[in-house]
Structure 1
Amino acid sequence: MKRAIIIGASSGIGREVSKILLAEGWNIGIAARREDKLLEIKELNPGMVEVCAMDVTKRDAPGKLLDLVGRMGGVNLFIYCSGVGHQNPRLDLDTELSTVDVNVFGFTQMVDTMFNYMADNLGGDIAVISSIAGTKGLGAAPCYSASKAYQNNYIQALEQLSNMRHLHIRFTDIRPGFVDTPLLSGSGHYPMLMDKKYVARQIVKAVKAHRHVKIIDWRYSIMVFFWRLIPRRVWRKMNVTNKKI
């Protein structure tokens, strides 16, 4: 039986991925802070969905994740969609630290919990929705870009660790550009904005193909290619933002 858990399924990309997996016959466990939004999905597919209200920044989140796994009878696929992102050119400390809480601390304890579970239970697939923002340090969003770089490198390290320990855990690092989700609502104009349903389809396709890294879509692949070629002395003088600050 195909079983998947999606963290951050109450809205945006996570919600769309959940819908796709349900349509393909997966049994899913969905988790987020807003239980009412999760129950909306369960009501449409009551026999195929388990729900867990969870805040990934809390210390009880790993236990809740393992309880969800137990209620499902195991899991083959884990998708981490939870995240926050803010432009913060004034470097408000609370904004930076709240980003660390979700994108670094929450991410780490959730992914590590699932890695250890899969290490003890014949492996599986772990996919993380990170971002192309991890490619370079973005002055308009310091902690967001840094936290995404952390996620990129952490997944790469766990992939190596899985091979070192001869485990059957596969990883997919999903790196989208701007996606039309509530995360970006009201925060300015974004170029090359992608539809969340399109992005969700690309995510599922990449996971099935066992892609190690997937940049969505081709326009962002080209942009990232050229970003990597820009020397540090040039990059630090550039104004990379989507609006006046």
Structure 2
Amino acid sequence: MKKVIIIGATSGIGEEIAKIYIAQGWQVGIAGRREEALTALAATAPAQVKTQVIDVTCADAPEQLQSLIEKLGGMDLFLLSSGIGSQNVKLEPEIELNTARTNVEGFIRMVTTAYRFFKEQGSGHLAVISSVAGTKGLGSAPAYSATKRFQNTYIDALAQLARMERLSIQFTDIRPGFVATALLKNRKYPLLMRADSTAQHIVKALTNKKRVAIIDTRYAILVFFWQLIPRWVWERLPIRNDKS
């Protein structure tokens, strides 16, 4: 029976993806900071689900992930869904630094632990949820944009490293657009997607083992044109959203 571990499964996209894999009969390991949310989800399928409280910003997060892998009895697919982001046009330092602690520091802790496990196992599928925001720097959310670009590049580097080491590890960099989750803090964004439909797109991309998956088609078109915009033009675009 296939086994998946999802970090950031207490709400939003991660929770919806966990529900899909449970329905498909997978053994599912779920992790996040809120124990009560993990317990509630595990109660829907106690024979399939194992839980572990993990805060990716804590130094012991790799040990906690290893503990969850042992509870599940292994891991075929690893998915990192945890992340934070805020608009911060005032550039408040703590907001920027907190974003980096989760999206960079926590990201490194989790993906390197998963990579080492798959290396020892001899195979595996390592996937992360980044964002289309990594395509260009968004002036209203500098740290969020930069940390997502970091994630894109880090997975590119790991994929190259795996080939250098002749490892059978597959990678998927999932890049959603705006999704209606708590991350957006109830702001109204254009092209807003539902978490459950986004999760379905993501699971399909993972099943097909896509290397990079932009979710969904509308955003794939948008990103294509974003990439064609010269830097001097992009820097003059007032891209922000302060509506609540």
State the TM-score, normalizing by the size of structure 2.
Answer: 0.98
What SS does the aligned partner of 2:30 have?
strand
Deviations 1:53-99 (A, max 9, x none): 11000000000000110111110000000000100000000000000
**Per the alignment, in what secondary structure is the counterpart of residue 241 of structure 1?**
coil
Verify: 1:29 aligned to 2:29, yes or no: yes
> Gaps (5+ residues) in structure 2?
none
Q: Which residue of 1 aligns with 2:240?
A: 241
The answer (yes or no) to whether the contact 2:133–2:144 under 8 Å persists in 1 is yes
Q: Give 1:209's aligned residue.
A: 208
Instruction: Tell me the CA shift for residue 101 of structure 1.
Output: 0.3
5+ residue gaps, structure 1: none
Identity score, percent: 51
1:74 matched to 2:74: yes
* Whole-angstrom CA distance in 2 between matches of 1:236 and 1:115: 37
Match for residue 122 of structure 2? 122
Letter matched to residue 204 of structure 2: K
The one-letter code matched in structure 2 to 1:146 is A
Which whole-Å CA distance do the structure 2 matches of 1:173 and 1:244 have between them? 29
Counterpart CA distance in 1 for 2:242 and 2:116 is 42
Q: Secondary structure at the match of 2:227?
A: helix
Match of 1:228 in 2: 227
> What's 1:173 paired with?
173
In 1, Cα distance between equivalents of 2:68 and 2:217:
36
The two structures, once aligned, show a CA RMSD in angstroms of 1.1
Give the whole-Å Cα distance in 2 for the aligned partners of 1:243 and 1:42: 37
Equivalent residues, number = 244
TM-superposition CA deviations, 1:180-236 (whole Å, max 9, x none): 1111133x2100000111100111100110100000111111111111111111111
* 2:195 alignment partner in structure 1: 196
Q: What displacement does 1:244 show?
A: 6.5
CA–CA separation in structure 1 for the residues paired with 2:206 and 2:44:
25
Alpha-carbon distance in structure 2 between the residues aligned to 1:244 and 1:36: 31
Q: Map residues 56-75 of structure 1 onto 2, 5 A cutoff.
A: 56-75=56-75
